[in-house]
Amino acid sequence: MSVRIAVLASGRGSNLQAILDAIAHGQLQADVVGVFSDRVDAAALQRVPAPRRWAASPRDFADRVAFDTALGDALAACTPDWIICAGYMRILGAAFVARFEGRLVNIHPSLLPLYKGLNTHARALEAGDAEHGASVHFVVPELDAGTVLAQARVPILPGDSPESLAQRVLAVEHPLLLASLALLASGRITEQGGQVQLDGHPLFSPLALDSAGTLQR
C-alpha cells in the first residue's frame, strides 16, 4: 500500500512538485492526500486537485490555538501517515506538534543546528562558512530544533550571493527530501523520544546525501 503524505506549504511548492513528480515516475510509493497552507493564495495549492487543498488565513481565527486546531482537524481528516513541512513558514504550536508527534518532518535550508529560522543563506555568507546545505528533521515545538535525519551539503563559492547560494541549496533539497521520504515510507526510519533509528539501530549522526542522491551513514 502507498504511504499517505500530507504537505504543509506557504509558497510556490517546489519541494511538493518534486514529491509529485517522483510519485508519477514510480520513484516514490506514496500518495499526496492533501496540501495545506496558511496562505490562501499560495501557488503550492494549485499543484493538486481542488478536493485535496485546504487553506485559511490565521488572521481569520481568534488566536494561534484556534488556527492550529482547524489545521489539525483538516489534516486528521485525510489520515496521513506522514506530514511534510515543505516551505511552511508558520511556527506550529506545541499542542499541534504533540497531536502529530513522530509523523511531522520539515526540510530546512541550513546545516542544522546552524542557522535556525530565516535568512539562512545570507547568514552563512556573513559567517564566512565554507559550506552550506539543507537538513531534514523531525518537528518539535522549538523552532528547527528536532532531531536531524539527513543532510545535504554544498560548497560556498567565491562571489556567492544569497540568491546564488539559495539556488544551489534548492538543487540538493529536492533529492534530499525524496531520499528521506523513501526511507520514511519504507518504515526503515523511526523516531521516538528524540532518537532516530535506521533499521532498528540508533542513528547518532545525520545521514549524508551523496552525489548519486543516495543517503549514506
Residue 143 has pLDDT above 80, yes or no: yes
pLDDT in tens, 83-106: 999 999 999 999 999 999 999 999
Q: Give burial (CB, 10 Å; 0-12/13-18/19+) of 49.
A: exposed
Residues annotated within the binding site are 13-15, 64, 89-92, 106
* Bond prior to 113 in cis (omega within 30° of 0): yes
Query: Can you tell me the mean pLDDT for 121-142?
Result: 97
Beta strand pairing call for 131-138 and 104-108:
antiparallel
Residue 1 has pLDDT above 80, yes or no: no
Query: So which residues are the catalytic ones?
Result: 108
Binned at pLDDT 50, 70 and 90, residue 193 comes out as confident
Residues annotated within the binding site for (6R)-10-formyltetrahydrofolate are 64, 89-92, 106
Residue 191 has pLDDT above 90, yes or no: no
Residue 210 has pLDDT above 80, yes or no: yes
3-state secondary structure the chain: CCEEEEEECCCCCHHHHHHHHHHHCCCCCEEEEEEEECCCCCHHHHHCCHHHEEECCHHHCCCHHHHHHHHHHHHHHCCCCEEEEECCCCCCCHHHHHHCCCCEEEEECCCCCCCCCCCHHHHHHHCCCCEEEEEEEECCCCCCCCCEEEEEEEECCCCCCHHHHHHHHHHHHHHHHHHHHHHHHHCCEEEECCEEEECCEECCCCEEECCCCCEEC
Of 171, 133, 124, 121, the residue nearest 15 (C-alpha): 171
Domains of the chain: 3-216 (3.40.50.170)
Q: C-alpha cell of 29?
A: 510509493
Residue 154 has pLDDT above 90, yes or no: yes
Single pTM value for the model: 0.95
Average pLDDT, whole number, for the chain? 96
